[in-house]
Structure 1
Amino acid sequence: MTDPRVLLTGFPGFLGSGLVERLLERGDGPVACLVEPKYYDQATRRACELTDAVGPDGQIQLYEGDITMTGLDIENSTEIFASIEELYHLAAVYDLAVDAELADRVNVRGTRNVLDVAEDIDVERFHYVSTCYVSGRYDGVFTEDHLQEGQKFNNHYEESKYRAEVAVQERMAAGLPATIYRPAIVVGDSETGETDKYDGPYYLLSLLLAQPTWGSLLFTVPGSANAELNVVPRDFVIDAIAAIGTQDDSVGQVYQLCDPAPLSVPAFIDAMAAAAGHRTVRLPTTKSVARRVSRWLGTYEINVEPAALDYLDHPTRYACPNTRQALSGTEIEVPPFESYVDSFVEFAKADGAH
C-alpha cells in the first residue's frame, strides 16, 4: 500500500468528505483520515462510496484516533505519519449551543494537539479551517488581517474557534508553514442543495416550513434590517480551499471564504420565503422573547436553536480581499444566494428537514 502524503481530520464530516473527494480527484491520494472511533463505521461506508467514484481501493486510509489526546491517541503517531507532507485540520465541534468545556477540549486543545503532531512530523503545509465568526460581535468590517480585537462572542463555539486560530497564528508566526481559511455560514451544495447539516439559516427555514403557506410568522429583532447573513455553499468552500492550498504564496496567509455582497437579514428571509412559496408576516420582538418562544417551539419538534437568534442582529461585516485576489485567475467565485435558494429550499423539504 502506498504511503499517504496527506492527512485530514474531520472525516467523514460535512466539509471533510467533500474535501477528501476533491483531493482524490486531482490525484493527491492516498489520503489518511483521522476518525473518531464512534464514527469509524460511517467513515468506512463513506470511504467506499468515494473510492468507488474516484479511484481504486486504498485511496483513503482510515486511522482511529482522537484530537483531544496527545499524539492524537495513536501510538507512535510520528512514525505512522512520517510520510505526511500536508495536514488539513477540519475536526471541530460545530454547534452554536456547545458548552464551554467541550468547546475548549475539542476546538482549542484539540487544535493544539494537531499542531504538535504537524510540527513533530515537519509537514510542508498545514491547512486550518477556522471560521469568519472568530470576529465575535466585532462592530464594523472584519478583514483577513483582524483577529485579536477585544471582541465579545455570541457563544462558546465562536470563542473556542477564535482561541484555536490564535494558537495556529502563533505557530505560523514561529515558522509553521500554514494557511488559514475562514468560511462564513456554510450551507448545502449550490447545484443540488445537498447537505447533512441543518443548522444556521436552516433553523429559519424549519420555522417557515412548519407554518401555512398563506401566512408564516417569522421573528424580527431590533437591528435586523442593518444586519447581513453571510452564507456560502459547500462546493464554493471546498473549491476555494483546494485551489488556494496549491498556491505557494498562500503560506502564512488568512483567507475569508465569504460572500463579498451578502443579503441583509430581511432580504435573505424574503428570498427563502419566495422560494418556499410562503407569504411571511414579520413579528417584531426582542431576542429574549424570541429565545423563549424558540424553546417552546422545540416542544412541538420545530427546531429553532435559540443561540442562532444572535445572528439576526449580528453587527459584523466581512471583507475578503486575499480570497478575491487568490481566486482571480480561476473560475471560482461565490454564487449569490438568490441563484441557489431554490435548491437550498427544495433539498431541505425533500429531506424532511422541517
Structure 2
Amino acid sequence: MAYLVTGATGFIGRFLVPELLKRGATVHVLVRPGEDSVLRFNRCRRMWNAGDRVRAVRGDLNAPGIGVDPSWIAAHRGSIEHVFHLAGGLDSVEPGGGTRRVAELAAQLEAGLLHHISTAQIAGGWDGVFTEDMFDVGQVLGSPYQRAMLEAERAVRDQDRVPWRIYRPSIVIGDSHTGEIDRIDGPYYFFRLLRMAAQLPRILPVVSPQLGETNMVPVDYVARALDHLAHRPGGGGATYHLTDPRRQSVAEVFNLFADEAGAPHLMEVMPKQTLDVTLRVPGMGWALRQVGVPMDVIEHSEFACHFDSRQAQAALAGTDIRVPPLVGYAPIIWKYWIENWV
C-alpha cells in the first residue's frame, strides 16, 4: 500500500505521516518547487526517520496538473491506495482550484480513496447544531477563508471519479502530551495578552462581553483519528467532525490558560453585541494588533453553532482515540509555548 499526501510538512501533516508509516507503507509527499519547501521536507523526513519510505514528488497545487511529471503518474497508476489532501487552505487564492486539481490527479492515479481535510469553519455563522451531513445550507460565511474551504469541499463532492471522505477539524492546538506546535496561530495569539494581564491583581476579574462557544482539539487526536477513519472498510461519501463533543465557552477556555499565566479570570457580564461595538471603537483594532492579535483570529476563535460529531465518535468506538479534556492538557500547552515561543 502507498499514500500520496499534500500538505505533509504542515502542522497536521507532520503528525499524520508517522501514523501512516506505522502501517509499513510508502508515503509520497507533494513538495512545491523552491528551496524553502525542499528544506522543510528534508527536515521533516529526518524527523520521521523512515528512510526511503518517504519520497518527495515535485508538484505545485497552483499549476495545471499540479505540475507532477506524467511519467511518475503512469508509473504509480493503481498503486496509490489513499490520497490525503491537507493543503486545502491554499485554495484561498482560487477557491476550490487546488483541491479540484488534487481530485483530478487522484483520478489519474486511479486512487482508492481521496481524503480531504476541510475545517469546521465551513459552518460559518450557522446557529444551532451543525451536523456531519450538512454542507451548503445557507450559512453565512464571513471570511474569504471560510468561503474558500466551502468551495474546496464542493470540488471534492462534485467529482465522482474517486470515492471521497471529508474530515472537519475544529481549532487545532498543540500535542496533548508534549504541547508541540510549529507556529503561532489561533488562540495562541491571546497568550501574550494573558502574560500582560498577569500584572493585574488576580482578585479582580476582567469584565467582558459574552464571547460565545469555541471548540479545540489537540493535533495528536486529529492525526490518529484521521489515520483510523481513513482505513475503515467501505467506500466513500462520509464526513466526519473531528471536534470536541464537550461544549465549552471562549471564557472557560480563556480562564483555563489564565490560571496557567497567573492572570485574572474573564467574567462575561455584557451582551455579545457589546463586543462588536467595542471592536469598532477607533484604535481598538490597532491596540489588539500591537500585541499581536489579528482581527480575524477573534472571529475564528468563536463558533455560533454546536458540532454534532456522532458519526466520527461511532467510527472511533472501541479504540482509545478520543478528545482529552482541555483542562487536563492546558498546562502542557502553556508550558511548551512559554519555553519555546516567548
Q: TM-score, normalised by structure 1?
A: 0.87
Aligned residue number for residue 352 of structure 1? 341
The correspondence for 2:84, drawn from 85, 88, 109, is 88
Residue 68 of structure 1 deviates from its aligned partner by: 1.4
Residue 303 of structure 1 aligns to which amino acid in structure 2? G
Residue 152 of structure 1 deviates from its aligned partner by: 1.0
Q: Does the 8 Å CA contact 1:262/1:336 hold for their aligned counterparts?
A: no
The correspondence for 1:228, drawn from 213, 218, 234, is 213
Aligned residue number for residue 222 of structure 2? 237
Aligned residue number for residue 279 of structure 1? 264
Q: 1:85-234, aligned counterparts within 5 Å?
A: 85-93=81-89, 103-105=92-94, 108-171=96-159, 174=160, 176-215=162-201, 220-221=208-209, 223-224=210-211, 227-234=212-219
Residue 80 of structure 1 deviates from its aligned partner by: 4.7
Residue 69 of structure 2 aligns to which amino acid in structure 1? E
Deviation >6 Å, runs of 4+: 216-219
Provide structure 1 residue ranges, at least 5 long, that are not aligned to the other structure: 95-101
The correspondence for 1:74, drawn from 63, 68, 71, is 68
In 2, distance between residues paired with 1:323 and 1:337? Answer: 19
RMSD: 2.2
Residue 40 of structure 1 aligns to which amino acid in structure 2? V
Among all aligned residue pairs of Structure 1 and Structure 2, give the percentage whose two residues are the same amino acid. 30
Aligned residue number for residue 57 of structure 2? 63
The correspondence for 1:31, drawn from 17, 27, 33, is 27
Q: Does the 8 Å CA contact 1:219/1:290 hold for their aligned counterparts?
A: no
State the secondary structure of the residue aligned to 1:11: coil
In 1, distance between residues paired with 2:80 and 2:10? Answer: 21
In 1, distance between residues paired with 2:275 and 2:150? Answer: 27
In 2, distance between residues paired with 1:351 and 1:304? Answer: 19
The correspondence for 2:316, drawn from 327, 333, 338, is 327
* Residue 253 (str. 1) matches residue 228 (str. 2): no
In 1, distance between residues paired with 2:93 and 2:341? Answer: 33
Residue 175 of structure 1 deviates from its aligned partner by: 5.1
Aligned residue number for residue 303 of structure 1? 292
Q: Does the 8 Å CA contact 1:213/1:279 hold for their aligned counterparts?
A: no
In 2, distance between residues paired with 1:180 and 1:218? Answer: 40
* Number of equivalenced pairs: 330
Rate the CA distance shift 1:327–1:250 in 2: closer, same or farther, 3 A.
farther
In 2, distance between residues paired with 1:312 and 1:34? Answer: 30
In 1, distance between residues paired with 2:300 and 2:12? Answer: 22
Q: Does the 8 Å CA contact 2:16/2:227 hold for their aligned counterparts?
A: yes
State the secondary structure of the residue aligned to 2:52: coil
State the secondary structure of the residue aligned to 2:337: helix
Residue 232 of structure 1 aligns to which amino acid in structure 2? V
Provide structure 2 residue ranges, at least 5 long, that are not aligned to the other structure: none
Q: Does the 8 Å CA contact 1:22/1:242 hold for their aligned counterparts?
A: yes
In 2, distance between residues paired with 1:270 and 1:14? Answer: 26
